[in-house]
Chain A
Amino acid sequence: MGRCRYLLKDATKAEDAMHDVFARALIHADDFRADASPLTWLMKIATNHCLNQLRSERAGWRQWFERDAEARSEAHGGAGELETRDLVRRLLSRVDEETQAAVVHYHVDGMTLEEVAALLGRSVPTIRKRLERFAELGGEELRVR
């Protein structure tokens, strides 16, 4: 739910998206590997679902800015973390789909490079490169550690 709210910035849409995410997960339960992390799997589905939804709403990215103020109270973490998440959100529309997912998992979920790489099926250097390119848009705050 937190992921859907962060990305969609609309409580009703977020709740609908959350239900769809769980429905998708139930339908595709056979795809889930027994040794995998259910939380990671659900978060990946939720992230893809919401990013796709935003892309499908032509005005979605523009509406983000309007909803920005409303969403501030939805996030958690310290002030610095809030600023980083807001910055990430503002810049997401400028990058490709895979970078968007990598950025959200790294900066918002707090995954390590290795965890993001494993989740997206890419190498650590590839993920690092994508995150570094994203960081060029936002400066020091988005530096990859």
Chain B
Amino acid sequence: MSAHESEWTLRRLHAGELASPEATRASAHAASCDTCGAVLRGLESNQQGFEAAIPFERFEQEVQRALERRRAALKPSPRRWVATTVALAASVLLVVLARPLLNQGPGWDRSKGSADVAELRIGGGPGPQREVKPDAIEALEPGERVMLGYKAGTHRYVAAVSVDAIGEVTALHPESGVSTPVEPGADLHWLQGSWEFTGSGAERVVLVLGDEPFTVESLVEATQRAFAAANGEVERMSPLDVPGAQTHWMLFKP
């Protein structure tokens, strides 16, 4: 076993986050050990270099921008849908009436609860409002937003996530906690709000209907596992390892 402190311990010491007894011990060791002292001095030098290269104001401003970008990707904006509410209502009616005639179209869950319907609809942008089929990749126009709808059949809980080309998973509905109970009735129900996906490239949206409540965290983790199993290729992801029925859509951001 090495007589030196681990580099990670020295990093934590330098960051000031070691608890008192450990910090005292590590400091005392570093003061009398050339090797560990050199590592600490190197960390201090790196810190000074970093602060000189990137002033705090710039850092703060850029983090704020990144934060706004991420929040914009998550934030529902129902007002943008006001103008299309009537059209949506009409489409819901159309779906409800037409579904029995479609005989297991792509939006239908085939694994369990055959009365399940999941639908992803794009609107709010310059292009026409449209439904996305689960087996196709749909290009998004700038400013377009996505709505998710379902008819639960025998399932009782619903949640939705999305994952982008770099494996960033976003909880769409709900944003945290546990899957929400499904709305009763035979109508197609729309999840509250709509989403605009920022950035560019592929984005996979997944809606899950379950018999039991499940945590959003478990769904996010299952999505991360599927992304990793697909070797980071969001287009090639397999179904998530979660109970219940799931529907996937692939979007391509401008």
Contact = CB atoms under 8 A, between A and B. Distances in A.
Interface residues of B, number: 32
A23 B70 contact: yes
A7 B190 CA distance: 41
Interface string B7-21: 110111001010000
A52 interface: yes
B12 A110 contact: no
Contacts of A55: 166-167, 231-232
A75 B65 CA distance: 28
A115 B10 CA distance: 13
Contacts of B11: 39, 109-110
Contacts of A37: 12, 17
A18 to B, nearest CB: 8
Contacts of B6: 110-112, 115
Contacts of B166: 49, 52-53, 55-56
Contact of A22 (B66, B71, B231): B66
A141 interface: no
Contacts of B46: 2, 76
B42 interface: yes
Interface of B: 2, 6-8, 10-12, 15, 17, 39, 42, 46, 50, 54, 59, 62-63, 65-67, 69-71, 165-168, 176, 201, 228, 231-232
Closest 10 CB pairs between A and B?
A110-B7, A55-B232, A23-B66, A56-B166, A52-B167, A19-B66, A23-B67, A111-B8, A19-B62, A22-B63
